Structure 1
Amino acid sequence: MADLSPFREGRQMELGYINDLFIFRLIDQPGRSSFHARVFSEEERAELLSELKQIDTSDQLQLISALGEMWYASNRFTYVGLAPHAKALPSDFDQNSEISKQLLLWIDTSLKPYLTESTQKRVTHGTPKSVIFDKILPALWVLESEETSTQGTGFMLEGVGLVTCEHIFKADICAFRADNFSKKYPISLIKKNSAIDLAVLQIEMENTEILYLKAETDVKVQQLDELTVIGYPNYRYGDTGTIVPGIVSGFRTVSTITRILTNAPIIAGNSGGPVLNSQGRVIGVAVTGAERMTEAQETEDHGVIPIDALQSF
């Protein structure tokens, strides 16, 4: 059974007979570099026997409920059924086998709920708690140059103007809302710094009711701080923009400026977008990353220019 199991590394398999039933338990052990198998002890078999006498062992939902977390949890799966015949072992983990049917039920009842909950907690934990995002996205703009066929993100920052990366700025650049690409506004340059890779622009428009984000000026960014990257990676008509939670994974000096590194993927088009802390204030500007999400793991340089770098030029 151990040799034929598809779960090889970082797990332990426990096996044994309880009367006519064959039982094995798979336990996830991330710290274990190899696969290990052992036989249930007499005490474990006695404990199982007392439990199994009181339930219908053919009803796996009843088994899951009765045996509890020691036998069924997000990191452990237990099979209770007929012992596999030695000659049939190679097919025991096939899609239609009894073991696989029980495994799929365990995935639905134990593993999926755990993964869903942990993912929701991660997103909630990593995104600003005091911020309503429908009041943040209106401060963002898609920036586009038709001449160079390039796009980026910009955002309105209180007391500064439209902030983006310098490499996004082109002579024919214009700005538009993500939900209305037909209405494009010309842009004028206020200042830029190619070494730092920041630019401050102005949108030529009559509407004075523009939402501005606020910069974080009082709190120093540290490793493992929560952050959120917002922008329009590889924008196409109809895109809502992306909101990606993450943490500060480290720092890297570029052109005398200490950039923030993050585990949140920054994709082409995110450049120039705001990076917020857990209070919804801007701590930096997304600057480097990967061309596509599929390439995000190929670089560690998901970089953010700290917002106080605007004071350097």
Structure 2
Amino acid sequence: MLPKIQNQFKSLVIISALLSATLPISPAKSQTTNISQQPLEINLNQPKKLSQANLVAEDVKPSVVRVVVGCKAKVYSPINGKIYDLETITGHGSGFFVNPNGYIATNAHVTDTDDCQQIFQKDLAAKLEADGQTLENVEAELKWIETKPIQLVYLPNQEQLPFEIINSGAVAGEGKDVSIIKVNLINAPTLKLAESNQVKLLDSVTVVGYPGLVEDLPLFSEKSFYEASFTSGQVSAKKNLKDGTPVIQITAPVPKGNSGGPVLNEQGEVIGLVTFGPDDNFTFIFTSDTIQEFLDSANITNKQGLVNQEYRKGLQLYSQGHYIQALQKFQLVKQLFPQHSEVENFLTKCQQVITNGN
């Protein structure tokens, strides 16, 4: 009796093994699929972590502005009774916020404006010629009704604000080429000045500004005009001008239009501003200590406010994948400084990730 039962039991074991080998086991397969797909989905949908260099660039970008100058005039000709409206932009450079209350550092040669009447000679001559007159014959009769400079700061969010000059030096060779200007803003994101005497040879530096090439070439979109450019290099020398003013030589490419833009150390602090050089690849900067002199003489404190603090925390939380907490920081930044050029982009990214459940 026992051998017969053993044979039947052996047959059942063999049949069970064959069925296990040929039939799918649904629960195990389902669990395996979920485990392998879940992290893949998160990696695809979540933004990549920001590097330290990325964090510095995103932190700095909203603080750097374009500075634009020009002339505006109205000229009356009693000979034909016409009033000629004249307006032109004569130059532009870069600058950066040094105080949350709208104070900006740039070059004196960027904010200087030439004699408007002299600037408009050619344009006025063309307008008079179109009316059958020559400037030479009627110049003595012309009445300059209004002549005023154009002084504008273009924020990175494309808003344009008039500025006033608070404290200004002179072009390099004639004085210290630094100018402190002000726009009507509060809670502006600012850059911190480093101690330039701590700068060492071959330190890495980054230049931020608005190269004129983007304006001159018709290839770029209008938005690109308001996008600051970053170039990198090293400190190649520390020198002094004849009047004793210290300057730093750097190797970073600096195209026309970057004058007055900040030069940063690896921590994102300003060691100086772009000032002069014989070409784009041979540049000298006036130091942060010289900038500080101009701020001190105007009783302006270089400081960073709540917008800087909250935006920086938001960037760090975003980079760490804490999107709900980052969203809260970015929302506060938007509320404190609606003109912030970068925060809307990060708000959108955080909301997308949160909506997708990641």
Tell me if the contact between 2:163 and 2:182 (Cα under 8 Å) persists in the aligned partners.
Answer: yes
Matches within 5 A, 1:149-168: 149-158=90-99, 161-168=103-110
Rounded Cα–Cα distance in structure 2 between residues aligned with 1:138 and 1:159: 12
Residues 311/155 of structure 1: CA separation in 2 closer, same or farther (3 Å cut): closer
Is residue 283 from structure 1 mapped to residue 268 from structure 2 by the alignment? Answer: no
* 1:274 pairs with one of 239, 245, 262: 262
1:128 and 1:191 mapped to 2: Cα distance?
35
In structure 2, C-alpha distance between the alignment counterparts of 1:218 and 1:163, rounded to whole Å: 16
Question: Residue 225 of structure 1: CA displacement?
Answer: 0.7
**How far is the alpha carbon of 1:282 from its aligned partner?**
0.7
Pairing 1:241–2:228 present:
yes
Report the counterpart of residue 162 of structure 2 in structure 1: 186
Helix, strand or coil: the match of 1:268? coil
Query: Are residue 310 (structure 1) and residue 291 (structure 2) matched?
Result: yes
- 1:146 Cα deviation (Å)? 3.2
> SS state of the match for residue 168, structure 1?
helix
For 2:152, the aligned partner's letter is C
1:143 to 56, 67, 77: 67
* Structure 1: runs of 5 or more not aligned: 1-126
Using the alignment, how far apart are the partners of 2:91 and 2:272 within structure 1? 22
Partners of 2:194 and 2:55 in 1: CA distance: 14
TM-score by length of 2: 0.45
Counterpart position of 1:5? none
Larger Cα-atom Rg:
2
For 1:1-313, list aligned pairs within 5 A.
129=53, 131-147=55-71, 148-158=89-99, 161-169=103-111, 170=113, 171-180=149-158, 183-194=159-170, 195-205=175-185, 208-217=186-195, 220-234=198-212, 235-236=214-215, 237-239=222-224, 240-254=227-241, 255-289=243-277, 296-297=280-281, 300=282, 302-313=283-294
TM-score (norm. length: structure 1): 0.52
Amino acid at match of 2:280: A
Q: Distance in 2 between matches of 1:168 and 1:269?
A: 9
More strand by share: 1
Alpha-carbon distance in structure 2 between the residues aligned to 1:202 and 1:216: 21
Residues 304 and 264 of structure 1, relative CA distance in 2, 3 Å threshold = same
Cα distance change on mapping 1:128 and 1:245 into 2, 3 Å: farther
Aligned equivalents of 1:251 and 1:133: distance in 2?
25
More helix by share: 2
The 3 A distance-change label for structure 1 pair 128 and 192 is farther
Cα offset for 1:209?
Answer: 2.8
Distance 1:196 1:219, change over 3 A: closer
Question: Residues 96 and 261 of structure 2 are in contact (CA less than 8 Å); yes or no, is this contact kept in structure 1?
Answer: yes
Q: Distance in 2 between the 1:233 and 1:227 partners?
A: 17
- Higher relative contact order (CA closer than 8 Å, sequence separation 6+): 2
- Report the Cα distance in structure 2 between the residues aligned to 1:241 and 1:248, rounded to whole angstroms: 21
Q: CA deviation at 1:238?
A: 2.6
CA–CA separation in structure 1 for the residues paired with 2:292 and 2:270: 14
What do residues 159-208 of structure 1 show as CA deviations (whole Å, max 9, x unaligned)?
Answer: 8920000001144210112441xx31110111011111001110124xx2
Q: Percent identity?
A: 24
Is contact 1:130-1:279 (8 Å) kept? Answer: no
Residue identity in the other structure for 1:186: P
CA distance in 2, matches of 1:134, 1:275: 15
Report deviation, 1:289.
Answer: 3.5
CA distance in 1, matches of 2:269, 2:239: 22
In 2, the alpha carbon distance for the partners of 1:312 and 1:203 equals: 20
What SS is found at the alignment partner of 1:308? helix
The SS at the match of 2:291 is helix
Alpha-carbon distance in structure 2 between the residues aligned to 1:307 and 1:159: 18
1:269/1:241 Cα in 2 relative to 1: closer, same or farther (>3 Å)? Answer: same
- CA-based RMSD: 2.6
SS of the aligned residue for 2:259 comes to: coil
Give the Cα separation in 2 of the matches to 1:243 and 1:145.
Answer: 23
How far, CA to CA, are the matches of 2:196 and 2:68 in structure 1?
Answer: 33
Cα distance between partner residues in 2 of 1:134 and 1:159: 18
Unpaired segments ≥5 residues, structure 2? 1-50, 72-88, 114-148, 216-221, 295-358
